Structure 1
Amino acid sequence: MRDSLDKTQQGLKRSRETWFGKVASLFDRTRVGDEVWDELEELLIAADVGVTTTQKLIEKVKQRIKAEKLSEGTQVRAVLKEEMVNLLKVDAGAASVSSLAGSQIILVVGVNGSGKTTSIAKLAYGFKNEGKKVILAAADTFRAAAIDQLKRWGERIGVEVVAHESGGDPGAVVYDALQAAQNRQAQVVIIDTAGRLHTKFNLMEELKKIKRVAGKYEMPQEVLLVIDATTGQNGLAQTRHFTEAVGVNGIFLAKLDGTAKGGIVLAIYDELKIPITYIGTGEQLEDIAPFNANTFVGAIFS
């Protein structure tokens, strides 16, 4: 993966040039008056930070500038940036799946159209470049096209794909993939699952079954939810439903380069306390970066 700062700045270009650019310019004035707070609230909500998180953030900034007797625009902007970093207090970099030692299972879930399969390819590409042996499991057996797509990615990247015929049992695919991983001493198994609406009970139950099969192997298991950053606040509802079903413990925020509303990152952390482990910053395989709070906040204001 390329330098994470450069990739994060690339992914947040639209956010930086629109809503957060306007936020930064609010504090270009010499002194900050009361009128700034209403403007700041409107801009943060427009950037998908969400009403609750926005109000909490502004209140913390107000408390600090009062306690520290600050009034200059540059000082207040610095406090805002610090409080944003504090809000992103779950260290996603430390929780990143790429940092886990030994073998690991990554169960990738998400709704249709979230960019799930492409995100899997980016992960596999990154792990392979780290020198790890990777196996992909094509457990989306509902669509033949999904199996073919994963096979094409596997061929392009140079990693093995374990797949059955379309319509088969996803749990059996996962079992075979994990057996193959043990036999070939693979370090990473990434499981692709059917893109499913988070409101569909039967499909969510099948996802639980896949997780149970994977859980029989003594390997660390990460449940990674892929969210399309352009869906905004709907991503919060998706995360809640998937977490209730299968215990999501990491988020891959895809298509961040396609939205001007990067504030959804703040809302996810504040309301759900689930770390964003990766962000998708473009269409190429290398367009992926581990999420880091300081890098993120620096990129939206740089």
Structure 2
Amino acid sequence: MEIVILAVVIAVVVIGALGGLVVGSRRKKQLPPPPPSTPDITAAPPAEPHVGEEAETPRDEARRTIEEVDLPVTEEAVEEVEEAPPAPAAPAAPEVEVPAPTAGRMVRLRSRLSRSQNALGKGLLSLLSREHLDEDTWEEIEDILLTADVGVQPTQELVERLRERVKVLGTRTPDELRALLREELLTLVVPEFDRTVNTESPLDTPGIVMVVGVNGTGKTTTTGKLARVLVADGKNVLLGAADTFRAAAADQLQTWGERVGARTVRGPEGGDPASIAFDAVKEGAEIGADVVLIDTAGRLHTKTGLMDELGKVKRVVEKHAPLDEVLLVLDATTGQNGLVQARVFAEVVDITGIVLTKLDGTAKGGIVVAVQRELGVPVKLVGLGEGADDLAPFEPEVFVDALIGD
């Protein structure tokens, strides 16, 4: 009996223990969240954390310094910062060149001239060396002279003198023919002309030189080269860029001036050429320049309005002082058309001298004779190449020697 009671008590204790475990485990389970209810709009919103507050770290805990914090390493952080390129250096001032002296410059360039001119001299010498000089031969001589742009009237005069002198001479050796031809050609070139470029003003002002010509003759380049000629002769030169119609003309002229240390007075593109020329002469007087070179816009000799404007430039400049030199630039390859240009320009401005460009590239050296005869003014300068110092004072003897060759 006692055993039965003991077994019952043990069973009750076991069942109770098991029940306690079940109830305990059920209490540990989380309850589902309550269903959402309508918010109370009168209730105050929860307080927002203040700047610097930490969600889990108590305020009294010691804070870490920035050095103790391990920040995530990214590719951007380890990339080396490229060094900024150094600032470009200011452009150096152009080095001032020392032009070659002009004395004897044409002699030094004679070989260039003779390479293209020998056809004229050799052709004449070959014909004059014939044993019998009949009418056909003299016509060939005339043709050579006309082809070389000597001009009709000068050609006829030369042929007549040659016929007379050859008849008197009788027997003709090569040396005698060369001397004869040289003498007659030199007479045509008129060695008595004063070929000095006038840069000395009779007043207490700079010498004023105006350069004129049609488009394409190399007028602006010639003006720049003339500045070098004058600087080489010891002159203090100021340039006036009065060609405002061609966009690059003023820049081109200024570049030429900078190479020899000459200042350039210029104005806005499309500005009044007469005003710029006036300012150039005024500034030249103020700084004590020896010479003011004025580059004018290229004119078509068939355009009356443009030619009238050139006359205006001349009149405005002469309010300061009279022009000492007006140089007409002609392309030696244009032949008789160059004579037409020269004639029209001479009617607008008083041409005092001629510059022949591209004389090294043509066998038509007779244009020297023709243009001097047309205008009654001398060829003062000739362009014998593309180099900066290839503009040379014209020397008749050297020119004729180059024509007939050695």
What TM-score results when the alignment is normalised by the length of structure 1?
A: 0.91
Judging by fraction of residues, say which structure has more helix. 1
1:1-302 paired onto structure 2 within 5 Å: 1=102, 3-16=105-118, 18-29=119-130, 31=131, 33-34=133-134, 35-66=136-167, 68-74=168-174, 75-89=176-190, 91-92=192-193, 94-97=194-197, 100=200, 103-218=206-321, 220-302=323-405
Measure, in 1, the Cα distance between the counterparts of 2:377 and 2:260.
Answer: 29
1:220 to 1:203, Cα distance in 2 relative to 1, 3 A: closer
Measure, in 1, the Cα distance between the counterparts of 2:115 and 2:216.
Answer: 22
Measure, in 2, the Cα distance between the counterparts of 1:24 and 1:288.
Answer: 29
Verify the 8 A CA contact 2:199 2:207 in the aligned structure 1.
no
Q: CA deviation at 1:218?
A: 3.3
* Residue identity in the other structure for 1:289: A
Measure, in 1, the Cα distance between the counterparts of 2:105 and 2:246.
Answer: 36
* Residue identity in the other structure for 1:286: D
- Comparing 160-169 with 96-105, which one deviates more in the overlay? 96-105
Measure, in 2, the Cα distance between the counterparts of 1:108 and 1:244.
Answer: 15
Q: Which has the higher contact order (CA 8 A, sep 6+)?
A: 1
Verify the 8 A CA contact 1:255 1:281 in the aligned structure 2.
yes
- Comparing 251-260 with 76-85, which one deviates more in the overlay? 76-85
Verify the 8 A CA contact 1:32 1:73 in the aligned structure 2.
no
* Residue identity in the other structure for 2:124: V
Measure, in 2, the Cα distance between the counterparts of 1:199 and 1:150.
Answer: 26
Q: CA deviation at 1:73?
A: 4.9
SS in 1 for 2:250: helix
Q: Calculate the aligned-residue CA RMSD, in Å.
A: 2.0
Q: CA deviation at 1:99?
A: 6.9
Verify the 8 A CA contact 1:11 1:282 in the aligned structure 2.
no
Verify the 8 A CA contact 1:106 1:221 in the aligned structure 2.
yes
- Please give the per-residue CA displacement for 1:37-93, whole angstroms capped at 9, x wherever unaligned: 122112111222223321121112223344x4444153344223212111222644x
1:32 to 1:248, Cα distance in 2 relative to 1, 3 A: farther
Q: CA deviation at 1:216?
A: 2.3
SS in 2 for 1:153: helix
SS in 2 for 1:173: helix
Measure, in 1, the Cα distance between the counterparts of 2:189 and 2:243.
Answer: 33
Q: CA deviation at 1:11?
A: 2.8
Q: CA deviation at 1:138?
A: 0.5
* Residue identity in the other structure for 2:390: D
Measure, in 1, the Cα distance between the counterparts of 2:221 and 2:114.
Answer: 19
* Residue identity in the other structure for 1:281: L
Verify the 8 A CA contact 1:90 1:274 in the aligned structure 2.
no
Q: Percent of counterpart pairs with the same letter? A: 46
Which segments of structure 1 move beyond 6 Å, counting only runs of 4 or more? none
Q: CA deviation at 1:101?
A: 6.8
Measure, in 2, the Cα distance between the counterparts of 1:57 and 1:162.
Answer: 47
Verify the 8 A CA contact 2:317 2:323 in the aligned structure 1.
no
- Please give the per-residue CA displacement for 1:121-160, whole angstroms capped at 9, x wherever unaligned: 1110111111111011010111222112112222223211
Measure, in 1, the Cα distance between the counterparts of 2:272 and 2:218.
Answer: 23
SS in 2 for 1:95: coil
What TM-score results when the alignment is normalised by the length of structure 2?
A: 0.69
- Comparing 18-27 with 267-276, which one deviates more in the overlay? 18-27
SS in 2 for 1:171: helix
Q: CA deviation at 1:187?
A: 0.9
Verify the 8 A CA contact 1:227 1:251 in the aligned structure 2.
yes
* Residue identity in the other structure for 1:79: L
1:73 to 1:32, Cα distance in 2 relative to 1, 3 A: farther
The structure with the largest alpha-carbon Rg is 2
Q: How many residues align?
A: 298
Verify the 8 A CA contact 2:343 2:374 in the aligned structure 1.
no
